[in-house]
Structure 1
Amino acid sequence: MLSSPLFLQFPSSMTDEQFFEFCQMNRDLRIERNQYGEISVMPPTGSETGNRNFNIAGQLWVWSEKDGTGICFDSSTGFKLSTGGERSPDVSWISSERWNVLSTAEQKGFAPICPDFVIELRSASDSLKPLQEKMEEYMQEPGIQLGWLIDRKNSQVYVYRPHMSVKCLENPDSVRGEHVLPGFVLNVTKVW
């Protein structure tokens, strides 16, 4: 059985550059820092979760290539949030208009931007509460428009929108990208 994330405390004097270097030295781990400076170290996902996450990313990528208005990112991509956290959504998308405002140097590191759209996939070993807290952190960010927390364990999709109540969909066959990702429909039956 996979273990839960390990949470570490580092001195608050760890700069963004030092954190980025720390993550680069430990590429086999998925490392995030929340808005309070707490660092979580997560082991690689199990094969089943990795397959489901790849399926989600693949569906979004196909839509994004046809749509052409933005770019997708996988789970190994870190973003520097305005809250001070550095987060890595399982799948994310940013409009080209927002992405192209960043300098080349900003695009190469943990880009100082929150994606327009994020997806988090709950694996068998994940607790729901930390994922919900992570989604709430995204919703505090400028630029975020939509987020989905996919809970495979309970066959639920939590839909997050800034300044709105969270909506829980029970065992949906699909989820639509609304006005944020017009025409994108995620086939959730491939994820369950």
Structure 2
Amino acid sequence: MSNFILDLKPFLYLTDDQYYELCRKHPDLKLERNRAGQLIIMPPTGGETGRKNADIISQLVVWNKKKKLGVVFDSSTEFKLPLGGDRSPDAAWIKLEHWRSLSDESKKKFPPLCPDFIIELRSESDSLKELRAKMQEYLDNGMALGWLIDPQNQQVEVYKQNQDIETINSPQTLSGGEILPKFILDFAEIWN
């Protein structure tokens, strides 16, 4: 099962509030909107992808609880990106000062910013081409660091501002570097 893209633009334009209400009225659908305004309807993940994503989130949460440098979000959180589009990364982290700069009202809806750190975990139904375009969209919107994890090929593509994309084959661990000081993601459960 793959994503279904619905181009409403020739017939209908959804304002941000209308899109938000559409998502609220249909919580059983996983919706995103790209910067071209197309609706993306995504299938739910299977057990293996869900298990791997839970492991990634738990590692990020444990690190963040110790460091207290930001806020962690799961794959249910959608962000209103500055250049357009509403996206839900599999895992996201925002620096505390960026989160605190938002109004209480904007924190309740789709936060209007791009996370500082994003992880996308490729499921078996995901198109690598579409995920790469999504990662580029995050970079264009200000993401500082992003990891596209591809369990099928045991590869990680590392995305950083003003740098070429780096592909790492079968890493056992990966460091968050200066963006996430002392965060080390262990891939033992992700590759198995």
Q: Which TM bucket (shorter chain)?
A: over 0.9
The DSSP-based 3-state class of the residue aligned with 1:13 is coil
| Contact 1:79–1:112 (Cα < 8 Å) also in 2 | yes
Structure 2 residues without counterparts, runs of 5 or longer: none
- Aligned partner of 1:80 in structure 2 is 80
TM-score, structure 1 as length reference: 0.96
- Aligned partner of 1:166 in structure 2 is 165
How far apart are 1:43 and its partner, in Å? 1.4
What is the rounded CA distance, in whole Å, between the counterparts of 1:24 and 1:178 in structure 2?
36
Q: What is the count of residue pairs matched by the alignment? A: 189
What is the rounded CA distance, in whole Å, between the counterparts of 2:183 and 2:106 in structure 1?
28
What is the rounded CA distance, in whole Å, between the counterparts of 1:78 and 1:111 in structure 2?
7
How far apart are 1:13 and its partner, in Å? 2.3
TM-score, structure 2 as length reference: 0.96
What is the rounded CA distance, in whole Å, between the counterparts of 2:13 and 2:48 in structure 1?
38
| Contact 1:77–1:88 (Cα < 8 Å) also in 2 | yes
What is the rounded CA distance, in whole Å, between the counterparts of 1:30 and 1:152 in structure 2?
22
Identity %: 47
How far apart are 1:167 and its partner, in Å? 0.1
Q: In the TM superposition, what whole-angstrom CA distance separates every residue of 1:37-56 from its partner, at most 9, and x where no partner exists?
A: 11111111001100100100
What is the rounded CA distance, in whole Å, between the counterparts of 2:175 and 2:133 in structure 1?
23
- Aligned partner of 1:185 in structure 2 is 184
> Cα RMSD between the aligned structures?
0.9
The DSSP-based 3-state class of the residue aligned with 1:180 is coil
- Aligned partner of 2:140 in structure 1 is 140
- Aligned partner of 1:32 in structure 2 is 32
Question: Where does structure 1 differ by over 4 angstroms across 4 or more consecutive aligned residues?
Answer: none
| Contact 1:93–1:117 (Cα < 8 Å) also in 2 | yes
The DSSP-based 3-state class of the residue aligned with 1:191 is helix
How far apart are 1:73 and its partner, in Å? 0.1
How far apart are 1:60 and its partner, in Å? 0.2
Structure 1 residues without counterparts, runs of 5 or longer: none
